[in-house]
Amino acid sequence: MKPHFSPALVREDLRDFAGYSSARTSHTGAPARIWLNANEAASASAIDPEGQQRRYPQPQPRDLVEALASCYGVNPAMVITGRGSDEVIDVIVRAVCLPGADGIVISSPTFGMYAVSARLHGVPVHDVPQTDLGDRWSVDVAAIAHTVRETKSKIVFLASPGNPTGSVIPTADLLWLATELSDAAVLVVDEAYQEFSDQPSVADQISDQPNIAVLRTLSKAHGLAGARVGTGIVHPQFAQVLLRVQAPYPVPEPVRAIAVAALGEVARAATAERIQTTIKLRSELAQILAGLSSVTAIYAGQANFVLVRSTGPDALLRLLADHGIVVRDMRHLPGLQDAVRVTVGTAADLEAIRAACTESGAWISPTDVEQAKQRIT
Ligand SMILES: *Cc1c(COP(=O)(O)O)cnc(C)c1O
């Protein structure tokens, strides 16, 4: 028999919480002809002649949930969708952690929203820093398990591939940690960049290990950051808990329509092609940056960006800025006081970076990444 989701993982004071009962969720389903239960307008807005926006949307639009489930290869009962994975992160924190009591564990350098959501909810954040291995980063799952027990934390947030590291956490490590924490904590594996990696998703482990929660998003590989569509893939019983905590109508109708279209066959084929191009350009970008004599480390990783360390991050940022190229200064993060993160753009963007680097006079023109890496290490 498959294991259940442990109620002990849910915030104690919310275990019997029913959530907001909206007009959409409280309708019994009896056949109806005239809908007068939600105080919607009697006729369509002048800017919406066909009236597509007149009604409140379904809390979890059926067609979108099914399209996401099919895209990620999971059962629709395991899907919860919302305004970006940012919202799913927030909902998980609020559903699991009692403010002022339960904590979360992160492993820096990592995505900033875990700590932001925790802080806004009055939940302490415990950090078990990653180890820099020179060309990638490593997460210490044994130390994380220890910290969860010491601090009585209820959630571990790990991104794989990581942001800003680009490094993947071995599946065996993730499963070991989830098993170790079975009744103690939820392990959130943020797979925002999974499409760019060669490591499979851990989503299909959830039925055997119900304390795993996986985050996916349409913001990166699918090219829809503006639409704000994120997905939590969780045990069906945990999904029911999260839906009670989430805002009543988290998916606006125009967003539903765009996202369903983006998950159709034609758009998905184009997305798959863009992913392949990005992976190819990622190593070219790493190669170009490795040619800068000021660059001391390159983490090409398995996402859609490259992280670099430089003896002169200021000069590197200025050089790119002089050519109108904006990249992410990472110097505010602990352990990354000399680092810059560059997103993989188009082939033309890459040529602009190449031009900036070769013009700079600080470029040593390596013939390949390996050679550059040897210079660096
Ligand atoms: C970009 C990013 C997200 C944000 O995703 P949204 O769906 O746009 O909210 C989540 N996690 C990581 C690690 C990211 O880098």
In a domain, 78, yes or no: yes
Residues 220 and 348 in one domain: no
Q: Can you give the pLDDT at residue 369?
A: 62
Residues 255 and 161 in one domain: yes
Question: Does residue 295's CB lie within 6 angstroms of at least one atom of ligand 1?
Answer: no
Residues 248 and 328 in one domain: no
Residues 256 and 318 in one domain: no
- 321 Cα distance to chain centroid: 28
Rounded CA-CA distance 135/327 in Å is: 20
What confidence category does residue 372 fall into, taking pLDDT thresholds of 50, 70 and 90?
Answer: low
Q: Is the pLDDT of residue 29 over 80?
A: no
Residues 81 and 120 in one domain: yes
pTM listed for this prediction: 0.95
Q: Can you give the pLDDT at residue 85?
A: 97
What confidence category does residue 318 fall into, taking pLDDT thresholds of 50, 70 and 90?
Answer: very high
Q: Report pLDDT digits (tens) over 114-135.
A: 999 999 999 999 999 999 999 9
Tell me the percentage of the chain whose pLDDT exceeds 90: 87
Q: What is the mean pLDDT of residues 273-284?
A: 97
What confidence category does residue 28 fall into, taking pLDDT thresholds of 50, 70 and 90?
Answer: confident
In a domain, 242, yes or no: yes
Tell me the percentage of the chain whose pLDDT exceeds 70: 96
Minimal-distance CA residue to ligand 1 atom 1: 192
**What CATH number should be reported for the domain holding residue 313?**
3.90.1150.10
What confidence category does residue 1 fall into, taking pLDDT thresholds of 50, 70 and 90?
Answer: confident
In a domain, 235, yes or no: yes
- Least confident among 66-75, 78-87, 339-348, 361-370: 361-370
Residues 290 and 145 in one domain: no
Question: Does residue 230's CB lie within 6 angstroms of at least one atom of ligand 1?
Answer: yes
User: In angstroms, how far is the first alpha carbon of the chain from the final one?
Assistant: 51
- Domain around 133: 7-263
Q: Can you give the pLDDT at residue 266?
A: 95
Q: Is the pLDDT of residue 371 over 80?
A: no
**What CATH number should be reported for the domain holding residue 166?**
3.40.640.10
Q: How far is the CA of 367 from the centre of ligand 1 (A)?
A: 34
And the tokens for 162? 């990581």
Residues 46 and 165 in one domain: yes
Q: How far is the CA of 37 from the centre of ligand 1 (A)?
A: 36
Q: Is the pLDDT of residue 377 over 60?
A: no
Rounded CA-CA distance 37/278 in Å is: 48
Q: Whose CA is closest to 231, among 342, 18, 74, 37?
A: 74
| Residues paired with 307 in a beta bridge | 299, 341
Question: Does residue 90's CB lie within 6 angstroms of at least one atom of ligand 1?
Answer: no
- From 113, 218, 305, give the residue whose CB has the most ligand 1 atoms within 8 Å, as the site to mutate: 113
Residues 25 and 165 in one domain: yes
Question: Does residue 203's CB lie within 6 angstroms of at least one atom of ligand 1?
Answer: no
Rounded CA-CA distance 321/305 in Å is: 18
Residues 29 and 142 in one domain: yes
Question: Does residue 231's CB lie within 6 angstroms of at least one atom of ligand 1?
Answer: no
Residues 97 and 146 in one domain: yes
In a domain, 44, yes or no: yes
Which region holds residue 209: left if phi is over 0, alpha if psi is between -120 and 50, else beta? Answer: beta
CB 320 within 8 A of CB 354: no
16-to-19, 133, 235, 287 alpha-carbon distances in Å: 9, 46, 18, 55
Q: Can you give the pLDDT at residue 114?
A: 98
- Least confident among 187-196, 220-229, 247-256, 308-317: 308-317
Mean pLDDT of the chain: 94
Minimal-distance CA residue to ligand 1 atom 11: 192
Q: How far is the CA of 207 from the centre of ligand 1 (A)?
A: 24
In a domain, 1, yes or no: no
Which of 263, 293, 320 represents a domain boundary (last residue)?
263
In a domain, 281, yes or no: yes
What is the residue-wise DSSP string for 296-361?
Answer: EEEE-TTSSEEEEEES-HHHHHHHHHHTT---EE-TTSTT-TTEEEEE---HHHHHHHHHHHHHTS
Minimal-distance CA residue to ligand 1 atom 15: 163
Residues 12 and 131 in one domain: yes
Q: Can you give the pLDDT at residue 365?
A: 64
Q: What is the mean pLDDT of residues 187-200?
A: 98
Question: Does residue 163's CB lie within 6 angstroms of at least one atom of ligand 1?
Answer: yes
- Longest CA pairwise span in the chain (Å): 74
Query: For residue 225, which atom of ligand 1 is closest to its CA?
Result: 8
State the DSSP code for 218: S
Q: Can you give the pLDDT at residue 18?
A: 84
Question: Does residue 174's CB lie within 6 angstroms of at least one atom of ligand 1?
Answer: no
Rounded CA-CA distance 318/37 in Å is: 58
Q: How many domains does the chain have?
A: 2
Which of 263, 293, 323 represents a domain boundary (last residue)?
263
Helix (H) or strand (E) holding 63, with range, is: helix 62-72
Q: Whose CA is closest to 10, among 210, 151, 177?
A: 210
Q: How far is the CA of 9 from the centre of ligand 1 (A)?
A: 24
Q: Can you give the pLDDT at residue 124?
A: 98
Rounded CA-CA distance 322/317 in Å is: 9
- Least confident among 91-95, 146-150, 318-322: 318-322
What confidence category does residue 16 fall into, taking pLDDT thresholds of 50, 70 and 90?
Answer: confident
- From 220, 330, 341, give the residue whose CB has the most ligand 1 atoms within 8 Å, as the site to mutate: 220
Which of 233, 263, 293 represents a domain boundary (last residue)?
263
Q: Is the pLDDT of residue 376 over 80?
A: no
Q: Report pLDDT digits (tens) over 31-68.
A: 889 999 999 999 999 999 999 999 999 999 999 999 99
Q: How far is the CA of 368 from the centre of ligand 1 (A)?
A: 31
Rounded CA-CA distance 18/45 in Å is: 33
Q: Whose CA is closest to 332, among 109, 134, 133, 129?
A: 109
Angle at the Cα of 297 (from 272 to 361), degrees rounded to 5?
95
Q: How far is the CA of 234 from the centre of ligand 1 (A)?
A: 17
Q: How far is the CA of 305 from the centre of ligand 1 (A)?
A: 13
In a domain, 2, yes or no: no
Residues 193 and 276 in one domain: no
Q: Report pLDDT digits (tens) over 148-186.
A: 999 999 999 999 999 999 999 999 999 999 999 999 999
Q: Can you give the pLDDT at residue 343?
A: 98
Angle at the Cα of 162 (from 159 to 166), degrees rounded to 5?
160
Rounded CA-CA distance 123/226 in Å is: 29
